[in-house]
Every structure is written in C-alpha cells, then in structure tokens.
Amino acid sequence: MKHVFLVLLLLCAPPVFSVEPDEILDDPVLEQRARDISANVRCVVCQNEPIDSSNASIARDMRILIRERLVAGDSDAAVYSFLVDRYGTYVLFKPPFQGATIGLWIGPFVILALGSIGAYVAFRRHTVVPTKLSDQEEAKISDLLDDT
C-alpha cells in the first residue's frame, strides 16, 4: 500500500524541465535570472529548442556556465555577450538590432506604411462620386417618373 501511494505521489509530480537538480543554484534570485537567460539561448544541437529545455550535453554545459558567470557577479548583458562572442548572435532567439537584421525589424513597418498609403489612395479614388446630378440626368429621371 505504501508503495502504491509512493507511485501515485510520483505521478502527481509537476513536469520538470531539463535543468537537473545538481545545476540549480541555492540563491533563488540568481536561479531565476539563469532560467530567464537560458530560455532565450538557442541550443546549438537541437536548434529550435532553448537550452533551458534541451537534453543535449552542450546545452547542459551552457546552463552550468551561465550559472557560473552569474555567481561570479556578471550582469545578464555580460552573460549574453560571453555566449555571443563564442557562438555569434545565432544563439540568441531574439535577434539584436544591427546591420543584417534591420530588414527584419523595420520590414513589417515599411510594408504596413506602404499598404496604408496604397489603401488610402485606392479608397480616395473610389469615393469621388458626383454629389449633384447633371441637368440631363434630372430631365431623364423626370421623364421616367412621368411615364408611370
């Protein structure tokens, strides 16, 4: 009975991320910072997964390294730049604003602006409707009305 209870308890355990118990820092503030950073860093083996949820050994190394840097007193920015120096901006899920990524950041706004201008021009062209009927049209209408 005791064993059944134990198994049931284990089944109730919340889903655990790949961060292993021996990696977790004692300081909850630092640990939270480490978790936030690792959620934004790409695993270089399983490329669309953050290192926070990756089981790859290099991802584990990177998580440990991030924690070491944080314990040593590095700021979040320093930790990111440490990784970028070694792996390039490729490791960041959020691309930085720089030369090659300008199109990525500005592009949607340029397209929105062009579309707005296009829509404005198109709508204005279609709404140019004469407000008054010409004399000829008035005469035609009264003709038709007279017929009935």
Partner 1 sequence: MKRVWAFLPLVVVAILGGFLFWGLNPDRDPNAIPSALVGKPPPTASLGPIPSIGGDGLNGDVVAEMDGVVLVNVFASWCLPCRAEHGTITSLSKMAGVTVVGLNYRDTDSAAAAFLEELGNPYAAIGFDPAGMSGIDWGISGVPETFIIKDGTVRFRFAGPIVGDGAKKIFFSELGEVQVQ
Q: Is residue 113 within the footprint of partner 1 (CB under 8 A)?
A: no
Q: Is residue 55 within the footprint of partner 1 (CB under 8 A)?
A: no
* Cβ-based nearer residue to partner 1, 94 or 132: 94
Among 65, 74, 76, 92, binds partner 1 (CB under 8 A): 65
Rounded to the nearest whole angstrom, what is the least distance from the CB of residue 57 to partner 1 in the complex?
Answer: 7
Cα gap 106→120, rounded to integer Å: 21
- Nearest Cα residue to 56 out of 44, 48, 70: 44
Cα gap 79→68, rounded to integer Å: 10
Cα gap 78→71, rounded to integer Å: 12
Site string for partner 1, 67-86 (x = CB under 8 A): ----------------xxxx
